[in-house]
Amino acid sequence: MIRTDGYKDTEIGAIPVDWELTFLEKVSDRLKAGGTPKTNVPDYWNGDIPLVKVEDVVNTHKYLLETNLSITKEGLDNSSAYLLPENCLVFSMYGTAGEVAINKIPVAPTQNVLGIIPLKETSVDFLYYALKFSKNRALELIVDRGLSLNILLLRKRRDF
């Protein structure tokens, strides 16, 4: 319902009339949790591929520039880990859930971290702030349903 003050009522409250609600999956090219190579295989570790754990996302600000652990190409190839290109988003799903960062280097997320590759027309910065704004709602979804990928986001029509 459009109100006379330039806002409209939605399921998350009043928003400007030129804004809309959308789902994370509709503004993303790919949403995928990562994996961790077997820790008992030394050849999988201490390589040149940064491995993103929840603590890395939590202990950074907006931009993720480094991680505490790294894996080898062999570790990447022999696990469910994958390489997330730079300028995507990493979103913590467990532990300290709901934290988000933009990775400024290619990284391999662990199974506790969701890698989000935005669509080309989606601003990674805007999506970062939308996820920060949606943190409480995202946490409700994680707790209630085990991370629904249909996290509702607020967006300005012309910005996405």
CB-based contact 66:107 (threshold 8 Å): no
* pLDDT class of 136 with cuts at 50, 70, 90: low
pLDDT tens-digit series, residues 91-102: 998 888 889 999
Domain 7-155: CATH superfamily is: DNA methylase specificity domains (3.90.220.20)
pLDDT above 80: residue 153: no
**Predicted local confidence at residue 120, as pLDDT:** 92
pLDDT above 70: residue 71: yes
Alpha-helix residue ranges (DSSP H) falling in 54-107: 54-58, 73-77
pLDDT above 70: residue 160: no
pLDDT above 80: residue 84: yes
How far apart (Å, rounded) are the C-alpha atoms in residues 132 and 5?
26
How remote is the C-alpha of 3 from its chain's centroid? 33
pLDDT above 60: residue 85: yes
* pLDDT class of 62 with cuts at 50, 70, 90: very high
Write phi, then psi, for 156 (nearest 5 degrees).
-85, 130
86: CB partners within 8 A, 6+ apart: 103, 104, 105, 106
